[in-house]
Amino acid sequence: MIRLHHCHQSRSMRSLWLLRELGVAFEVVVHPFDKTLRSQDYLALNPAGRVPALEIDGKVIWETGAITEILCETFPDPGLGRRPGETERADWLIWVHFSETISQHVASLTQQHIMLYEDQMRSPVVMKLEAKRLEKCYGAVEGRLAGPAGRSGHLLASGFSAADISIGQAIYMARHFAPIDSFPALTKWYERITERPAFRASLPGDGAARLYERDFYEAWNV
């Protein structure tokens, strides 16, 4: 039995997309993005009170990077992971986990724009700095995709993998705060991978509560 605990448009979408690409049977428990994640029942699954939490074979795994590694090792046939000893293993790990670097900047911007309800609590300086940091992350992805490895159209020379899923989902969140238009290789790659049926199926359905009610959040002027 596989059960994913998920909030729409959060980092758990990364695990949801991966599960759909793997083509395995699983259940999804959708939680509101609020204090219910601090309940004792949920903290027993993820002591940080965050999503995702993945129940699999009687165990609970949390942190998206760990979930990605374990799922790809448990279900190797779709070829979304790279095993120890394979030449692309290090690059695969780098990009799978670089998604968290992107997501940390997104988390800061999400707090500034959405979670802090009173204007005096928000910082235009933090908004601008974190948006610039996202652009630096975009530059790293752009460099990879525009280089020799990117000739495959993906982050690894051998083709599509969970690295594309991890970074792609992080970019999905980041685009709410920093546009990618000035990064042509990144833009082309993002447009292509987000046409995948598994990505589309991982988006919030019609009428579902969303974390991001706007398509884009502009940084305030100082």
Rounded Cα gap, residues 7 and 212, in angstroms: 12
Coil vs helix vs strand at 55: strand
Q: Residue 222: what pLDDT? A: 52
User: According to the model, what pLDDT value does residue 118 have?
Assistant: 86
Tell me where in the chain the CATH 3.40.30.10 domain(s) lie: 2-74
Distances (CA, A) of 105 to 40, 72, 81, 98, 184: 28, 26, 26, 12, 22
CB atoms under 10 Å from CB of 1, counted, come to 9
pTM beyond 0.85: yes
- Fold entry, domain 2-74: Glutaredoxin (3.40.30)
Provide the CATH topology of domain 89-201.
Glutathione S-transferase Yfyf (Class Pi); Chain A, domain 2 (1.20.1050)
pLDDT for the residue 117? 82
Residues with Cβ within 8 Å of residue 29, at least 6 apart in sequence = 3, 4, 5, 6
* CATH 1.20.1050.10 domain position(s) in the chain: 89-201
**Which residue matches tokens 């690059």?**
91
One-letter amino acid at 103 equals S
What string of pLDDT tens digits covers the 222 residues of the chain?
999 999 999 999 999 999 999 999 999 999 998 888 999 999 999 999 999 999 999 999 999 999 999 999 999 999 999 999 999 999 999 999 999 999 999 999 999 999 998 888 999 999 999 999 999 999 999 999 999 999 999 999 999 999 999 999 999 999 999 999 999 999 999 999 999 999 999 999 998 989 999 999 998 875
